Structure 1
Amino acid sequence: MGDKFSVDTGELGDFLKTLKKATESLESVRKAMNQTESDRIGTSDLDEACNHFQEHWKYGSEQLTEQTKNLREAIGKTKENYEEVEKSLEEAFKKANRKAEAK
């Protein structure tokens, strides 16, 4: 069974970086939209639609940002745990090898 399960902690680290970039991009877009003055976009109907969209986008992007942050924290802890297990296994194998060589 052990040959069918593996974890690439480097890939987990890359995934964490990707999630961080995605969060930063969402924040950047949301801030840019907030700085856009919708009363200068076009007709009053278009301005109202833009305001409505911005309100929904703000809420949605804030929710995505929070959930992505939680996911990053969970994956970060998982990565640390796997690295700790790998280190402990490596040390245990070295210790067992030294014992075997001493016999």
Structure 2
Amino acid sequence: MTSLQVDIDQLTRLTRALDSSLVSLREARRALDHVRADQLGTADLDAACDGFQERWSYGARELTQRVKAVREGVDRSAAEYAELEKAIRAAFRAAAEAPRG
């Protein structure tokens, strides 16, 4: 027999964790935006930092989009599971109240 159990509270906690990661990514991007390569030192170091910052910005934007997509999916799943639980409860309640004969 197959058993499926979904903890909607866990899905809610996952949503909060995803939101927190989005905030962290946003803060990290802002922090890097304020660093200028010409403040760091040698031309080689400046060039390396510029390259890193470009790659980091691109990667952070991509990661942000993917985390948002996962978050939307988790939200949708939690809502659908909650609706399913509600329907199952209503069906059991109706069955219990039905006249037996």
Q: Report TM bin, short chain.
A: over 0.9
**Post-superposition offset of 1:43:** 1.2
- How far apart are the structure 1 equivalents of 2:85 and 2:94? 14
Structure 1 stretch 53-62 or stretch 30-39: which is displaced more? Answer: 30-39
User: Aligned partners of 2:42 and 2:21: how far apart in 1?
Assistant: 33
**How much does 1:13 deviate?**
0.6
Which residue in the other structure is 1:74 paired with? 73
Q: Alignment identity in percent?
A: 35
Q: Which residue of 2 aligns with 1:87?
A: 86
Q: Which amino acid aligns with 1:59?
A: Y
Q: After TM superposition, which residue ranges in structure 1, 4 or more long, deviate above 6 angstroms?
A: none
Name the CA distance, whole Å, in 2 between partners of 1:42 and 1:86.
Answer: 61
SS at match of 2:63: helix
* CA distance in 1 between partners of 2:52 and 2:26 (Å): 16
Cross-structure match for 1:25: 24
Which AA in structure 1 matches 2:8?
T
State the 1:99 CA deviation: 1.5
TM score, norm. by length of structure 1: 0.91
Cα offset, 1:91, TM superposition: 0.9
Name the SS for the 2:98 alignment partner: helix
Is the aligned partner of 1:98 residue 2:97? yes
How far did residue 47 of structure 1 move? 1.0
RMSD: 1.4
Alignment gaps of 5+ in structure 2: none
User: In proportion to residue count, which structure has more helix?
Assistant: 1
- Cross-structure match for 1:7: 6
3-state SS of paired residue (2:5): coil
Structure 1 residue ranges without an equivalent (≥5): none
